[in-house]
A and B are shown apart, each in its own frame.
Chain A
Protein backbone atom coordinates (compact mmCIF):
# COMPACT_ATOMS: atom_id res chain seq x y z
CA UNK A 1 0.00 0.00 0.00
CA UNK A 2 2.58 2.47 1.15
CA UNK A 3 4.91 1.42 -1.62
CA UNK A 4 2.23 2.24 -4.13
CA UNK A 5 1.67 5.66 -2.61
CA UNK A 6 5.33 6.38 -2.89
CA UNK A 7 5.50 5.50 -6.57
CA UNK A 8 6.34 8.24 -9.02
CA UNK A 9 7.82 10.49 -6.38
CA UNK A 10 11.41 9.36 -6.75
CA UNK A 11 11.96 11.95 -9.47
CA UNK A 12 11.72 14.60 -6.82
CA UNK A 13 14.95 13.68 -5.04
CA UNK A 14 16.90 15.04 -8.00
CA UNK A 15 15.51 18.45 -7.20
CA UNK A 16 17.59 18.75 -4.05
CA UNK A 17 20.76 18.50 -6.07
CA UNK A 18 19.71 21.20 -8.51
CA UNK A 19 19.49 23.95 -5.92
CA UNK A 20 21.88 22.24 -3.54
CA UNK A 21 24.28 24.48 -1.67
CA UNK A 22 27.43 23.09 -3.23
CA UNK A 23 26.87 24.56 -6.68
CA UNK A 24 25.79 27.84 -5.17
CA UNK A 25 28.78 28.10 -2.86
CA UNK A 26 31.22 27.41 -5.66
CA UNK A 27 29.63 30.14 -7.72
CA UNK A 28 29.72 32.53 -4.80
CA UNK A 29 33.39 31.91 -4.03
CA UNK A 30 34.34 32.39 -7.66
CA UNK A 31 32.32 35.61 -7.74
CA UNK A 32 34.05 36.88 -4.62
CA UNK A 33 37.52 36.17 -5.97
CA UNK A 34 36.61 37.98 -9.17
CA UNK A 35 35.34 41.01 -7.20
CA UNK A 36 38.48 41.09 -5.03
CA UNK A 37 40.74 40.99 -8.07
CA UNK A 38 38.82 43.80 -9.80
CA UNK A 39 38.89 45.99 -6.67
CA UNK A 40 42.63 45.42 -6.16
CA UNK A 41 43.44 46.14 -9.80
CA UNK A 42 41.38 49.35 -9.82
CA UNK A 43 42.99 50.38 -6.55
CA UNK A 44 46.52 49.66 -7.82
CA UNK A 45 45.88 51.55 -11.06
CA UNK A 46 44.40 54.48 -9.15
CA UNK A 47 47.35 54.52 -6.77
CA UNK A 48 49.94 54.55 -9.52
CA UNK A 49 48.06 57.24 -11.46
CA UNK A 50 47.55 59.58 -8.51
CA UNK A 51 50.92 58.86 -6.88
CA UNK A 52 49.63 60.68 -3.80
CA UNK A 53 50.66 59.43 -0.31
CA UNK A 54 46.94 59.50 0.52
CA UNK A 55 46.38 56.60 -1.91
CA UNK A 56 49.17 54.05 -1.35
CA UNK A 57 49.22 50.87 -3.45
CA UNK A 58 47.49 47.77 -2.09
CA UNK A 59 50.82 46.03 -1.57
CA UNK A 60 52.14 48.77 0.69
CA UNK A 61 48.89 48.75 2.64
CA UNK A 62 49.04 45.00 3.19
CA UNK A 63 52.63 45.21 4.36
CA UNK A 64 51.93 48.05 6.76
CA UNK A 65 48.77 46.31 7.96
CA UNK A 66 50.81 43.26 8.94
CA UNK A 67 53.51 45.33 10.62
CA UNK A 68 50.86 47.42 12.46
CA UNK A 69 49.04 44.29 13.60
CA UNK A 70 50.51 44.08 17.15
CA UNK A 71 49.45 47.66 17.76
CA UNK A 72 46.11 47.19 15.98
CA UNK A 73 44.87 44.09 17.75
CA UNK A 74 43.98 45.74 21.09
CA UNK A 75 42.05 48.44 19.21
CA UNK A 76 40.26 45.80 17.15
CA UNK A 77 39.28 43.91 20.27
CA UNK A 78 37.92 47.04 21.95
CA UNK A 79 35.91 47.96 18.87
CA UNK A 80 34.64 44.41 18.41
CA UNK A 81 33.63 44.32 22.05
CA UNK A 82 31.73 47.60 21.77
CA UNK A 83 29.91 46.74 18.59
CA UNK A 84 29.05 43.14 19.46
CA UNK A 85 27.89 44.09 22.93
CA UNK A 86 25.71 46.82 21.42
CA UNK A 87 24.15 44.54 18.84
CA UNK A 88 23.40 41.83 21.39
CA UNK A 89 21.92 44.39 23.74
CA UNK A 90 19.76 45.77 20.93
CA UNK A 91 18.61 42.31 19.88
CA UNK A 92 17.72 41.26 23.38
CA UNK A 93 15.20 44.08 23.60
CA UNK A 94 14.11 44.48 19.99
CA UNK A 95 13.28 40.84 19.27
CA UNK A 96 10.99 40.20 22.25
CA UNK A 97 9.20 43.52 21.88
CA UNK A 98 8.88 43.04 18.13
CA UNK A 99 7.55 39.51 18.48
CA UNK A 100 4.93 40.22 21.12
CA UNK A 101 3.60 42.93 18.83
CA UNK A 102 1.97 40.20 16.76
CA UNK A 103 -0.87 40.68 19.23
CA UNK A 104 -3.12 43.51 18.21
CA UNK A 105 -3.43 44.77 21.78
CA UNK A 106 0.30 44.96 22.41
CA UNK A 107 0.94 46.46 19.02
CA UNK A 108 -1.50 49.25 19.74
CA UNK A 109 0.80 50.20 22.63
CA UNK A 110 4.13 49.60 20.89
CA UNK A 111 3.46 51.09 17.48
CA UNK A 112 2.87 54.70 18.60
CA UNK A 113 6.29 54.63 20.28
CA UNK A 114 7.88 53.35 17.10
CA UNK A 115 5.98 55.89 15.08
CA UNK A 116 7.22 58.78 17.20
CA UNK A 117 10.74 57.62 18.07
CA UNK A 118 11.96 55.77 15.00
CA UNK A 119 12.17 58.69 12.54
CA UNK A 120 14.39 60.75 14.88
CA UNK A 121 18.03 60.72 13.74
CA UNK A 122 19.20 59.09 16.96
CA UNK A 123 22.80 59.98 16.41
CA UNK A 124 22.08 63.63 17.29
CA UNK A 125 21.27 62.45 20.82
CA UNK A 126 24.97 61.79 21.40
CA UNK A 127 25.56 64.92 23.53
CA UNK A 128 22.67 64.01 25.81
CA UNK A 129 23.81 60.41 26.05
CA UNK A 130 27.28 61.55 27.05
CA UNK A 131 25.83 63.88 29.64
CA UNK A 132 23.86 60.97 31.09
CA UNK A 133 26.30 58.08 30.72
CA UNK A 134 29.67 59.82 30.77
CA UNK A 135 32.36 59.49 28.14
CA UNK A 136 33.21 55.81 28.75
CA UNK A 137 32.07 52.71 26.92
CA UNK A 138 28.55 52.95 28.32
CA UNK A 139 27.62 55.95 26.21
CA UNK A 140 29.12 54.43 23.04
CA UNK A 141 27.31 51.16 23.56
CA UNK A 142 24.09 52.93 24.37
CA UNK A 143 24.24 55.01 21.21
CA UNK A 144 24.99 52.08 18.89
CA UNK A 145 22.45 49.77 20.49
CA UNK A 146 19.72 52.39 20.43
CA UNK A 147 20.12 52.85 16.70
CA UNK A 148 20.32 49.13 16.00
CA UNK A 149 17.42 48.51 18.39
CA UNK A 150 15.02 50.57 16.30
CA UNK A 151 16.12 49.00 13.03
CA UNK A 152 15.58 45.49 14.36
CA UNK A 153 12.41 46.37 16.23
CA UNK A 154 10.68 47.85 13.21
CA UNK A 155 11.50 44.78 11.12
CA UNK A 156 10.67 42.24 13.81
CA UNK A 157 7.36 43.91 14.53
CA UNK A 158 6.34 44.08 10.88
CA UNK A 159 7.36 40.48 10.35
CA UNK A 160 5.50 39.28 13.46
CA UNK A 161 2.35 41.10 12.43
CA UNK A 162 2.52 39.45 9.03
CA UNK A 163 2.60 35.93 10.42
CA UNK A 164 -0.59 34.36 9.17
CA UNK A 165 -3.22 33.39 11.75
CA UNK A 166 -3.43 30.16 9.82
CA UNK A 167 -0.16 28.91 11.34
CA UNK A 168 -1.11 30.07 14.81
CA UNK A 169 -4.42 28.21 14.60
CA UNK A 170 -2.68 25.18 13.19
CA UNK A 171 -0.37 25.11 16.21
CA UNK A 172 -3.09 25.89 18.72
CA UNK A 173 -5.15 22.98 17.43
CA UNK A 174 -2.33 20.80 18.76
CA UNK A 175 -2.87 22.19 22.24
CA UNK A 176 -0.15 24.84 22.10
CA UNK A 177 0.36 27.39 24.86
CA UNK A 178 1.16 31.02 24.18
CA UNK A 179 4.86 30.28 24.68
CA UNK A 180 4.69 27.42 22.16
CA UNK A 181 3.25 29.86 19.62
CA UNK A 182 6.37 32.04 19.95
CA UNK A 183 8.72 29.11 19.89
CA UNK A 184 7.23 27.15 17.00
CA UNK A 185 5.60 29.86 14.90
CA UNK A 186 6.31 33.53 15.53
CA UNK A 187 10.05 33.28 16.10
CA UNK A 188 10.95 30.85 13.30
CA UNK A 189 8.61 32.62 10.87
CA UNK A 190 10.20 36.01 11.52
CA UNK A 191 13.81 34.86 11.83
CA UNK A 192 14.73 35.34 8.14
CA UNK A 193 13.51 38.94 8.26
CA UNK A 194 15.30 39.56 11.55
CA UNK A 195 18.56 38.24 10.14
CA UNK A 196 18.21 40.41 7.07
CA UNK A 197 17.66 43.40 9.35
CA UNK A 198 20.76 42.37 11.30
CA UNK A 199 22.87 42.40 8.15
CA UNK A 200 21.78 45.93 7.44
CA UNK A 201 22.31 46.93 11.05
CA UNK A 202 25.89 45.74 11.01
CA UNK A 203 26.81 48.43 8.51
CA UNK A 204 25.00 51.04 10.59
CA UNK A 205 26.53 49.80 13.83
CA UNK A 206 30.08 50.05 12.47
CA UNK A 207 29.44 53.53 11.10
CA UNK A 208 28.08 54.70 14.44
CA UNK A 209 30.98 52.96 16.17
CA UNK A 210 33.41 55.04 14.13
CA UNK A 211 31.54 58.18 15.03
CA UNK A 212 31.39 57.26 18.72
CA UNK A 213 35.11 56.44 18.78
CA UNK A 214 36.08 59.65 17.10
CA UNK A 215 36.48 61.62 20.31
CA UNK A 216 37.02 61.37 24.05
CA UNK A 217 38.70 57.99 23.82
CA UNK A 218 42.14 56.59 23.14
CA UNK A 219 41.10 53.10 22.15
CA UNK A 220 39.21 51.51 19.33
CA UNK A 221 39.66 51.51 15.57
CA UNK A 222 37.86 54.84 15.17
CA UNK A 223 40.45 56.44 17.42
CA UNK A 224 43.27 54.65 15.61
CA UNK A 225 42.08 55.90 12.22
CA UNK A 226 41.66 59.52 13.32
CA UNK A 227 44.96 59.47 15.18
CA UNK A 228 46.81 58.17 12.10
CA UNK A 229 45.08 60.78 10.03
CA UNK A 230 46.11 63.62 12.32
CA UNK A 231 49.71 62.36 12.24
CA UNK A 232 49.46 62.14 8.43
CA UNK A 233 50.53 58.48 8.78
CA UNK A 234 48.64 57.30 5.72
CA UNK A 235 49.82 53.72 5.88
CA UNK A 236 48.48 53.31 9.41
CA UNK A 237 45.34 55.12 8.36
CA UNK A 238 44.74 52.38 5.81
CA UNK A 239 45.55 49.64 8.33
CA UNK A 240 42.82 51.08 10.53
CA UNK A 241 40.34 51.29 7.69
CA UNK A 242 41.08 47.71 6.67
CA UNK A 243 40.62 46.53 10.24
CA UNK A 244 37.26 48.22 10.44
CA UNK A 245 36.24 46.66 7.14
CA UNK A 246 37.35 43.24 8.40
CA UNK A 247 35.35 43.72 11.58
CA UNK A 248 32.21 44.45 9.57
CA UNK A 249 32.94 41.66 7.14
CA UNK A 250 33.36 39.01 9.83
CA UNK A 251 30.12 40.04 11.56
CA UNK A 252 28.41 39.88 8.19
CA UNK A 253 29.78 36.40 7.59
CA UNK A 254 28.55 35.32 10.99
CA UNK A 255 24.99 36.44 10.20
CA UNK A 256 25.22 34.65 6.89
CA UNK A 257 26.28 31.53 8.75
CA UNK A 258 23.21 31.84 11.00
CA UNK A 259 20.98 32.18 7.93
CA UNK A 260 22.47 29.07 6.36
CA UNK A 261 22.00 27.15 9.55
CA UNK A 262 18.53 28.25 10.64
CA UNK A 263 16.74 29.49 7.54
CA UNK A 264 17.26 26.64 5.12
CA UNK A 265 13.55 26.56 4.49
CA UNK A 266 13.36 29.98 2.86
Chain B
Protein backbone atom coordinates (compact mmCIF):
# COMPACT_ATOMS: atom_id res chain seq x y z
CA UNK B 1 0.00 0.00 0.00
CA UNK B 2 1.28 3.42 -1.00
CA UNK B 3 0.10 6.48 0.80
CA UNK B 4 0.91 10.08 -0.12
CA UNK B 5 0.16 12.49 2.71
CA UNK B 6 0.11 16.16 1.77
CA UNK B 7 3.15 15.77 -0.46
CA UNK B 8 4.55 19.11 -1.61
CA UNK B 9 7.64 19.75 -3.66
CA UNK B 10 9.32 23.04 -4.34
CA UNK B 11 12.58 22.73 -6.26
CA UNK B 12 15.62 24.69 -5.05
CA UNK B 13 15.12 27.21 -7.88
CA UNK B 14 11.70 28.05 -6.46
CA UNK B 15 9.61 26.02 -8.94
CA UNK B 16 6.58 24.75 -7.07
CA UNK B 17 5.88 21.39 -8.66
CA UNK B 18 3.45 19.73 -6.23
CA UNK B 19 1.18 21.07 -3.53
CA UNK B 20 -0.31 18.92 -0.79
CA UNK B 21 -0.97 15.85 -2.89
CA UNK B 22 -2.74 13.13 -0.92
CA UNK B 23 -4.06 9.78 -2.14
CA UNK B 24 -3.40 6.14 -1.62
CA UNK B 25 -2.98 3.04 -3.75
CA UNK B 26 -4.01 -0.33 -2.36
CA UNK B 27 -1.87 -3.41 -2.58
CA UNK B 28 -2.28 -5.08 -5.97
CA UNK B 29 -4.13 -2.09 -7.35
CA UNK B 30 -3.34 -0.49 -10.70
CA UNK B 31 -3.61 3.27 -10.52
CA UNK B 32 -3.09 5.87 -13.21
CA UNK B 33 -2.07 9.45 -12.60
CA UNK B 34 -3.03 11.92 -15.28
CA UNK B 35 -2.35 15.61 -15.58
CA UNK B 36 -1.08 18.20 -18.00
CA UNK B 37 2.59 18.39 -18.95
CA UNK B 38 4.74 19.94 -16.25
CA UNK B 39 2.20 19.44 -13.44
CA UNK B 40 4.64 17.39 -11.39
CA UNK B 41 3.82 13.81 -12.38
CA UNK B 42 7.45 12.75 -12.78
CA UNK B 43 8.32 14.59 -9.61
CA UNK B 44 5.67 12.61 -7.76
CA UNK B 45 7.04 9.27 -9.01
CA UNK B 46 10.58 10.28 -8.03
CA UNK B 47 9.26 10.98 -4.55
CA UNK B 48 7.43 7.64 -4.44
CA UNK B 49 10.60 5.85 -5.47
CA UNK B 50 12.64 7.52 -2.74
CA UNK B 51 14.99 9.27 -5.16
CA UNK B 52 13.68 12.70 -4.24
CA UNK B 53 12.72 14.03 -0.83
CA UNK B 54 9.54 16.08 -0.80
CA UNK B 55 9.81 19.54 0.75
CA UNK B 56 6.52 18.92 2.53
CA UNK B 57 4.44 15.94 3.58
CA UNK B 58 5.43 12.31 3.46
CA UNK B 59 5.02 9.09 1.51
CA UNK B 60 4.45 5.78 3.23
CA UNK B 61 4.82 2.35 1.74
CA UNK B 62 3.33 -0.44 3.81
CA UNK B 63 3.17 1.98 6.71
CA UNK B 64 6.84 3.00 6.62
CA UNK B 65 8.05 6.40 5.47
CA UNK B 66 10.04 6.35 2.21
CA UNK B 67 13.49 7.90 2.53
CA UNK B 68 15.57 6.08 -0.07
CA UNK B 69 15.00 3.63 -2.95
CA UNK B 70 13.45 0.39 -1.74
CA UNK B 71 14.32 -3.03 -3.08
CA UNK B 72 10.70 -3.97 -3.64
CA UNK B 73 9.90 -0.88 -5.72
CA UNK B 74 10.85 -0.63 -9.40
CA UNK B 75 10.77 2.63 -11.29
CA UNK B 76 10.58 2.76 -15.07
CA UNK B 77 11.66 6.22 -16.10
CA UNK B 78 10.24 8.23 -18.94
CA UNK B 79 12.12 7.12 -22.09
CA UNK B 80 12.84 3.78 -20.42
CA UNK B 81 16.01 4.59 -18.47
CA UNK B 82 18.09 1.99 -20.34
CA UNK B 83 21.86 2.33 -20.49
CA UNK B 84 23.10 2.80 -24.06
CA UNK B 85 26.43 1.14 -23.16
CA UNK B 86 24.83 -2.09 -21.96
CA UNK B 87 23.36 -4.66 -24.28
CA UNK B 88 19.88 -6.07 -23.76
CA UNK B 89 21.10 -8.82 -21.50
CA UNK B 90 23.18 -6.54 -19.28
CA UNK B 91 20.46 -3.91 -19.11
CA UNK B 92 18.04 -6.49 -17.79
CA UNK B 93 20.61 -7.94 -15.39
CA UNK B 94 21.91 -4.71 -13.90
CA UNK B 95 19.31 -4.42 -11.12
CA UNK B 96 19.88 -7.99 -9.96
CA UNK B 97 23.63 -7.48 -10.14
CA UNK B 98 23.43 -4.42 -7.93
CA UNK B 99 21.25 -6.22 -5.45
CA UNK B 100 23.82 -8.98 -5.19
CA UNK B 101 22.05 -11.94 -6.76
CA UNK B 102 24.21 -14.94 -7.65
CA UNK B 103 25.48 -15.05 -11.23
CA UNK B 104 23.65 -18.28 -12.14
CA UNK B 105 20.43 -16.97 -10.67
CA UNK B 106 20.75 -13.80 -12.76
CA UNK B 107 21.48 -15.88 -15.86
CA UNK B 108 18.36 -17.96 -15.34
CA UNK B 109 16.08 -15.02 -14.62
CA UNK B 110 17.38 -12.98 -17.54
CA UNK B 111 17.01 -15.84 -20.00
CA UNK B 112 13.42 -16.47 -19.05
CA UNK B 113 12.59 -12.75 -19.13
CA UNK B 114 14.10 -12.33 -22.59
CA UNK B 115 11.85 -15.13 -23.81
CA UNK B 116 8.87 -13.61 -22.04
CA UNK B 117 9.30 -10.25 -23.75
CA UNK B 118 9.93 -11.88 -27.13
CA UNK B 119 13.47 -10.63 -27.59
CA UNK B 120 15.28 -13.94 -27.94
CA UNK B 121 18.15 -13.39 -30.38
CA UNK B 122 18.57 -9.76 -29.35
CA UNK B 123 20.55 -10.44 -26.16
CA UNK B 124 23.67 -8.77 -27.52
CA UNK B 125 21.93 -5.85 -29.21
CA UNK B 126 22.31 -2.37 -27.81
CA UNK B 127 19.30 -0.13 -27.08
CA UNK B 128 19.93 2.07 -30.10
CA UNK B 129 19.57 -0.96 -32.36
CA UNK B 130 16.08 -1.64 -30.99
CA UNK B 131 12.71 -0.15 -31.85
CA UNK B 132 10.84 1.90 -29.25
CA UNK B 133 8.55 -0.99 -28.35
CA UNK B 134 11.49 -3.36 -27.90
CA UNK B 135 13.25 -0.88 -25.62
CA UNK B 136 10.09 -0.54 -23.62
CA UNK B 137 9.96 -4.28 -23.13
CA UNK B 138 13.59 -4.38 -22.04
CA UNK B 139 12.76 -1.76 -19.43
CA UNK B 140 9.86 -3.91 -18.25
CA UNK B 141 12.10 -6.93 -18.03
CA UNK B 142 14.67 -5.01 -16.00
CA UNK B 143 11.97 -3.97 -13.55
CA UNK B 144 10.39 -7.44 -13.42
CA UNK B 145 13.74 -9.11 -12.81
CA UNK B 146 13.67 -7.73 -9.27
CA UNK B 147 10.21 -9.22 -8.63
CA UNK B 148 8.99 -5.91 -7.25
CA UNK B 149 5.81 -5.61 -5.24
CA UNK B 150 5.36 -2.09 -6.60
CA UNK B 151 6.08 -0.82 -10.13
CA UNK B 152 6.15 2.90 -10.86
CA UNK B 153 6.01 3.88 -14.52
CA UNK B 154 6.52 7.31 -15.97
CA UNK B 155 4.68 7.73 -19.28
CA UNK B 156 5.81 4.26 -20.33
CA UNK B 157 4.14 4.31 -23.74
CA UNK B 158 4.21 7.96 -24.68
CA UNK B 159 6.86 7.69 -27.38
CA UNK B 160 5.34 4.66 -29.10
CA UNK B 161 3.18 4.71 -32.21
CA UNK B 162 -0.51 3.90 -31.73
CA UNK B 163 -0.12 0.27 -32.72
CA UNK B 164 2.81 -0.64 -30.48
CA UNK B 165 1.19 1.40 -27.78
CA UNK B 166 -1.89 -0.82 -27.71
CA UNK B 167 0.24 -3.93 -27.79
CA UNK B 168 2.26 -2.69 -24.85
CA UNK B 169 -0.85 -1.75 -22.91
CA UNK B 170 -2.11 -5.30 -23.39
CA UNK B 171 1.29 -6.59 -22.36
CA UNK B 172 1.15 -4.52 -19.17
CA UNK B 173 -2.33 -5.80 -18.36
CA UNK B 174 -1.05 -9.34 -18.83
CA UNK B 175 1.89 -8.72 -16.53
CA UNK B 176 -0.34 -7.18 -13.92
CA UNK B 177 -2.70 -10.16 -14.03
CA UNK B 178 0.20 -12.61 -13.74
CA UNK B 179 2.08 -10.89 -10.95
CA UNK B 180 -0.59 -8.85 -9.13
CA UNK B 181 2.02 -6.16 -8.61
CA UNK B 182 0.85 -2.78 -7.40
CA UNK B 183 1.25 -0.47 -10.38
CA UNK B 184 1.29 3.31 -10.45
CA UNK B 185 1.34 4.60 -13.99
CA UNK B 186 1.78 8.21 -15.03
CA UNK B 187 0.36 9.34 -18.35
CA UNK B 188 -0.95 12.39 -20.11
CA UNK B 189 -3.16 10.29 -22.35
CA UNK B 190 -6.80 10.11 -21.27
CA UNK B 191 -7.65 6.81 -22.99
CA UNK B 192 -4.60 5.18 -21.49
CA UNK B 193 -5.39 6.41 -17.99
CA UNK B 194 -8.91 5.04 -18.29
CA UNK B 195 -7.95 1.73 -19.89
CA UNK B 196 -5.36 0.89 -17.26
CA UNK B 197 -6.24 2.61 -13.99
CA UNK B 198 -8.77 1.08 -11.62
CA UNK B 199 -8.23 4.34 -9.85
CA UNK B 200 -7.49 7.51 -11.81
CA UNK B 201 -5.85 10.39 -10.01
CA UNK B 202 -6.43 13.60 -11.93
CA UNK B 203 -3.94 16.37 -11.18
CA UNK B 204 -4.32 20.07 -11.84
CA UNK B 205 -1.86 22.27 -13.69
CA UNK B 206 1.36 23.19 -11.89
CA UNK B 207 1.63 23.17 -8.95
CA UNK B 208 -0.03 19.78 -9.16
CA UNK B 209 -2.79 19.12 -6.67
CA UNK B 210 -5.34 16.32 -6.70
CA UNK B 211 -8.33 17.56 -8.63
CA UNK B 212 -10.34 14.39 -8.47
CA UNK B 213 -9.97 10.67 -7.91
CA UNK B 214 -12.07 8.71 -10.38
CA UNK B 215 -13.05 5.14 -9.56
CA UNK B 216 -12.85 2.94 -12.63
CA UNK B 217 -13.33 -0.68 -11.55
CA UNK B 218 -13.76 -2.04 -15.07
CA UNK B 219 -10.22 -1.10 -16.06
CA UNK B 220 -7.18 -3.27 -16.77
CA UNK B 221 -8.94 -5.58 -19.23
CA UNK B 222 -8.15 -5.47 -22.93
CA UNK B 223 -11.86 -5.75 -23.82
CA UNK B 224 -12.57 -2.62 -21.81
CA UNK B 225 -11.63 -0.53 -24.86
CA UNK B 226 -14.91 -1.50 -26.54
CA UNK B 227 -17.26 -1.05 -23.59
CA UNK B 228 -19.69 1.77 -22.99
CA UNK B 229 -18.38 2.34 -19.47
CA UNK B 230 -14.89 2.99 -20.87
CA UNK B 231 -16.16 5.73 -23.18
CA UNK B 232 -18.19 7.19 -20.35
CA UNK B 233 -15.09 7.36 -18.12
CA UNK B 234 -13.04 8.92 -20.90
CA UNK B 235 -15.65 11.64 -21.27
CA UNK B 236 -15.67 12.17 -17.53
CA UNK B 237 -11.89 12.49 -17.30
CA UNK B 238 -11.71 14.68 -20.39
CA UNK B 239 -14.19 17.05 -18.79
CA UNK B 240 -12.23 17.09 -15.54
CA UNK B 241 -9.02 17.98 -17.33
CA UNK B 242 -10.61 20.48 -19.68
CA UNK B 243 -12.13 22.46 -16.82
CA UNK B 244 -9.99 25.36 -15.76
CA UNK B 245 -10.08 26.60 -12.19
Contacts and interface: CB of A to CB of B under 8 A. Distances in A.
Interface of A: 1-6, 9, 12-13, 15-16, 166-167, 169-177, 180, 184-185, 188-189, 191, 263-265
A9, A13, A166, A263, most chain B CB atoms within 10 A? A9
A148 to B, nearest CB: 24
Nearest to A264: B126
A13 B84 CA distance: 18
16 contacts: A2-B117, A5-B117, A12-B130, A12-B131, A166-B81, A167-B81, A169-B51, A170-B77, A171-B83, A174-B74, A174-B99, A175-B98, A176-B98, A188-B83, A191-B85, A265-B84
A5 B137 contact: yes
B71 A175 contact: yes
A174 B146 contact: yes
Contacts of B221: none
3 closest A-B pairs by CB: A170-B81, A6-B118, A173-B75
A173 B129 contact: no
Contact of A170 (B83, B167, B170): B83
A13 B116 contact: no
A180 B83 CA distance: 13
Interface in B159-183: 167, 170-171, 174
Contacts of B118: 2-3, 5-6
Contacts of B51: 169, 172-173
B49 A173 contact: yes
Given A1-B174, A264-B126, A185 B83 contact: yes
A4 B170 CA distance: 11
Contacts, number: 89
B134 interface: yes
A174 B147 CA distance: 12
Given A169-B51, A173-B74, A174-B146, A188 B121 contact: no
A5 B142 CA distance: 18
B51 to A, nearest CB: 6
Contacts of B231: none
B46 interface: yes
Nearest to B71: A175
Interface string B60-81: 0000000001110011010101
B97 to A, nearest CB: 8
B69 A174 contact: yes
Nearest to B96: A174
B86 A12 contact: no
Contact of A4 (B86, B115, B167): B167
B129 A12 contact: yes
A184 B98 contact: yes
B171 A5 contact: yes
A172 B133 CA distance: 24
A142 B142 CA distance: 46
Contacts of B95: 174-175
A1 B77 CA distance: 25
A210 B84 CA distance: 40
A45 B219 CA distance: 82
Given A265-B126, A265-B128, A173 B69 contact: yes
